[in-house]
């Protein structure tokens, strides 16, 4: 049995009775063809909507942003009646569960204006993540309770859940704003990356297999 077959069999056993089994995503289920198609999709997209659809069809791309072997992707997982994150992605390891909120914005817009101010789309994405966190602060028990107990099944999630914004392309980045972007990411606990970051993570996964 190959290493991939061994991990696949173990993962299938692990997830068979797991409450989030329908969202389980194998992190090694990527091919060069899928990554090339992702790159083409991002190149053609005029806003985030086709990228959202592509990632829903190929969730293994998103879990490359995580580290544990047990990973899952919840697309547009409604938080109560108020909020619908683009994606909630998670991983399960010996310490429990970790979560990451993902907000997609247009690949055609840079993070900052020519004046160096955060672009409205970036500010909107950050506000979305902050609103999700505030909702979780108010609804902690409901969010973390198992789905079979009428909860959302986001075990161990807290109001400090980190986030990531994907927006723009690397060629749009002005190096003079990098320090400001790093400071924002540190202060807000929200990573801010271009879509090239996601493409590179996907390529790295393909080359590891």
pLDDT of residue 118: 96
Q: What is the 3-state secondary structure (H, E, C) of 94-130?
A: CCEEEEEEEEECCCCCCCECCCCCECHHHHHHHHHHH
Q: 60 near 27, Cβ under 8 Å? A: yes
Q: Which has more confidence, 91 or 104?
A: 104
The mean pLDDT of 81-96, rounded to a whole number, is 81
Going across the sheet that includes 87-93, the strands are: 70-75, 87-93, 96-104, 163-166, 190-193
Please tell me what DSSP assigns to residue 145.
Answer: S
pLDDT of residue 74: 78
Q: 39 near 98, Cβ under 8 Å? A: no
Q: 209 near 5, Cβ under 8 Å? A: no
List the domains of the chain with CATH numbers: 3-208 (3.40.91)
Specify the length of the chain in residues: 209
Classify 158 as helix, strand or coil.
coil
pLDDT of residue 2: 44
Q: Which has more confidence, 72 or 97?
A: 97
133-143, pLDDT tens digit by residue?
998 888 888 88
Strand 190-193 relative to strand 70-75: parallel, antiparallel, unpaired?
unpaired
Find tokens 């929200």 and name the residue: 190
The mean pLDDT of 60-71, rounded to a whole number, is 77
DSSP lists the bridge partners of residue 183 as: none
Specify the pTM: 0.85
Structure tokens at 174: 């002005």
pLDDT at 108 over 90: yes
What proportions of the chain, in percent to the nearest 5, are helix, strand and coil? Answer: 50, 15, 35
**Longest CA–CA separation in the chain, Å:** 58
């Amino acid at each position: 049995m190959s290493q991939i077959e061994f991990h696949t069999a173990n993962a299938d056993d692990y997830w068979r009775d797991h409450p989030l089994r329908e969202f389980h995503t194998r992190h090694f289920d990527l091919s060069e063809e899928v990554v090339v198609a992702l790159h083409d999709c991002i190149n053609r997209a005029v806003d985030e909507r086709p990228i959202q659809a592509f990632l829903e069809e190929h969730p293994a791309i998103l879990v490359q942003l995580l580290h544990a072997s047990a990973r899952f992707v919840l697309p547009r997982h409604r938080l109560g009646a108020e909020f619908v994150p683009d994606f909630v992605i998670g991983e399960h390891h010996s310490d429990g569960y970790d979560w990451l909120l993902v907000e997609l914005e247009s690949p055609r817009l840079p993070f900052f204006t020519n004046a160096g101010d955060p672009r409205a789309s970036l500010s909107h994405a950050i506000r979305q993540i902050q609103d999700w966190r505030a909702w979780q602060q108010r609804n902690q028990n409901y969010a973390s309770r198992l789905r079979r107990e009428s909860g959302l099944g986001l075990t161990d999630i807290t109001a400090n859940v980190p986030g990531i914004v994907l927006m723009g392309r690397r060629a749009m980045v002005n190096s003079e704003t990098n320090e400001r972007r790093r400071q924002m990411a540190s202060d807000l606990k929200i990573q801010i990356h271009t879509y090239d970051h996601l493409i590179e993570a996907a390529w790295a996964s393909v080359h590891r297999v």
